[in-house]
Structure 1
Amino acid sequence: MEGDSLWREVIDRKYGFEWGRWCSKEGRGSYGVCLWKYIREGWNIFEKHIKFEVGVSDRIRFWFDDWCCERPLNAVFLVVLSLVGNQQVAVSEVLCRADGVVHRNVILTRNAQDWELDEIAGFFSFLHSVKLGANGRDCMLWKHSGSNKFSVNSFYKVLTAQQHISFPWKSIWKVCVPSKVAFFSWTAALGKILTIDNLRKCVMIVMEWCFMCKKNGESIDNLFLCCEVAREFLGGILCRAGLSWVMPKRVVEVLACWNRHHNSSQLDEAWRMIPLCLMWCLWTERNDRCFNNRKRAVGDIWNFFVSSLFQWFSAIVLKGECSLSFCFLFSFLECNLVSHLVYFL
């Protein structure tokens, strides 16, 4: 920590600082706070990956900072936390040093119940086992490096590891769909399309409901995966394909695992087109209902999906030619296929 640096003093003077002076307060002024405001928003993520080394211990919170265990004490001793009066105390106020001896200063606000005694006994046993370091400066340490020093590289690895899967860019940009559909699918996978929940995050006052099922709040994952209409389409496609699959919770996870190998590369290509085409058709129908007050029946939406899939596959993959694999793949869709096949054949 650069506690004595000039930039730190400027930030502290302009915005103030939180308990312990480990970070500044949030910028709430009417002007001149935009840049630091967005930098400060990252603290809530950053603080989950730090721990503290006790020195003087007057800048470390006893209950809410990670200073002696793998996690803060408020997550370990919940019962004891509910019994103490002042929860925002420093380590130095609970573990007081005097003439080289550490005194424990914990005051409970009421008598303990019988079922609370075991945790309280464990808490005081833990306190007596804690050994404090020398009377130096309190230090912030980075959990994800051997030297306990922060690095951008280690933080980036932590942030990307939280996604559990790599971004499925091949399932978007390597699929034979129109460019506008690929860009839309990429935006949806990133969680950036303007569904109701994203509009509300932009402080827009709109009713929180799904235009497709008119029941749940509208989010990207709900609209394309959890909504009754989306579930009916996805379930129908998987059932006709002879697949039994537990649907993931997120669009990006569906794109990452939507793979199936056939005897033909054309069949593989068409299979990869299905989720992107379905999302595009559901989004088109959603916008028609929202802005044009036009509503298709479920069967008409299905026909729209099949028709779009046929057109894209014929124009992009087959380049206007006919293929037996083309007829074989879509035979499981079972919806006005004869009229579509007559058109393309």
Structure 2
Amino acid sequence: MDKKEAERAALENEKETQQEQEQEQVVNPWEVSAKEGGKIDYDKLIDKFGCQRLDQSLIDRVERLTSRRAHVFLRRGVFFAHRDFNEILDSYERGEKFYLYTGRGPSSEALHLGHLIPFMFTHAFYRNMVEISKRVTCNQVVGIFGFVGEDHIGKYSFPPVQAAPSFPTSFPHLFSGKDNLRCLIPCAIDQDPYFRMTRDVAPRIGYHKPALIESLFFPALQVCMPFTQGGLGVRDLIVFNKALLGKWLWRFGVADLKFWRRVLAAKYGVMGRGWCTRPVRGPHGCSLWKGIMANWDVFQSYIVFEVGIVRLSLILYFRSNGVETREWQLQFVRNFNDWEVDMVAAFFNLIHSKAPVHESDDVIKWRLRKTGIFDIRSFYHAMRGSVSNGFPWKGIWGVKVPRRVAFFVWMAAWGNILTCDNLRRRGIVMVGWCCFCRCSGENVVHLLLHCPVARELWNYVFRRFGVDWVISGSVLDHVAGWRNWFGKHYSDVWNLVPAYVM
């Protein structure tokens, strides 16, 4: 009994340890995250998915077969794992051809029905989808992807779509009569579950298993953030698309006589005074206006209503000392209850503060602009959020240096240049010595600021300018404290120093 209890306890501990490790990071086709913003452990992913490390011997073989240097992504370990890549190289060595299958963002919000049209146009593609679907059970899909009962049916139906291009018969106009052609799929490792399923099905429908080379995830560099927040000023396309669609919500509210507006109003009905249509709740098909109206709750928080003279029966005019005054003339359908008096008083205070001020209809105003007229830029920044976080962007992008130099300093400020510690996190086996001082522990701060060689260079600069300076503990703080040390009008040369020294 004691032995059985000990074995049971050991199994429970092992299970708990495995669950804790799985909770530390989540990597699947729909989500990639590490615990508390940490780094992804790619060695654990290799063990979890059952793929192989793409080692130096394979890279050397690629260079030998192609008679040229391997791609930089292979040399630097961006592609770090594979499935049957050696078989692709065997085929290439025998003079056999293969084709590449590259993706179109299947797990992103960019995929829509239009992307499937070129595939559905060919019966061969659809036939392969059906053959794959018939050979994968629900239990297998649940085991591979971890689906639960609350997941929608689209998640179950998409894996065959993703798998079908792995087989040459899906493209008869390209590979007619080449049913034995091998396929190589370069992809990020989060897409591995799709192709594990594909490799299991392939022999059962008479095709070669597709080979994979799998890449790391590129670090989050905040490229879609404004310069002032440490980004590259690239627009966030998801938010920008919503801002573009907001233009049509605005036009619906102000374009009463347009034909397209009358069609939408007749089809869906309108709410209130006709500022928007009723919610579109159709369960079937794909409605453009349904997608536009999905953003109405956000849009309406940035509009205000200005009352005009629309219903003259509600407004009483009278003159006092030659001055015309306008007051609300309201009639209620019943008397008030005692507990409603305070609400009625608050109501009258509200409408008297909103007395009509012009001879026109009620209008909507865009409160993010002084003109009251909607524009895409203000809506985009309101949704994106543009609160400054103190990033020293002027010390990086505001100095007169080549763009590539400024980009390097920006990368260094985020700690993402290719120092030994970052390369080892990507799975490259190497000694962690500093390339200058030959001491262990090369990282961004050591290499650019605290290395004896780098420090001597900084000290030379300080002596030339005649200043005493304590080097900061990070590149970000160093750049933030450097700008305009001698004043705004006398620091042009001083501001150039960090970029050129680094």
Q: Say which one has the larger Rg.
A: 2
Q: Normalising by structure 2, what TM-score?
A: 0.26
Q: Normalising by structure 1, what TM-score?
A: 0.36
Structure with more strand by fraction:
2
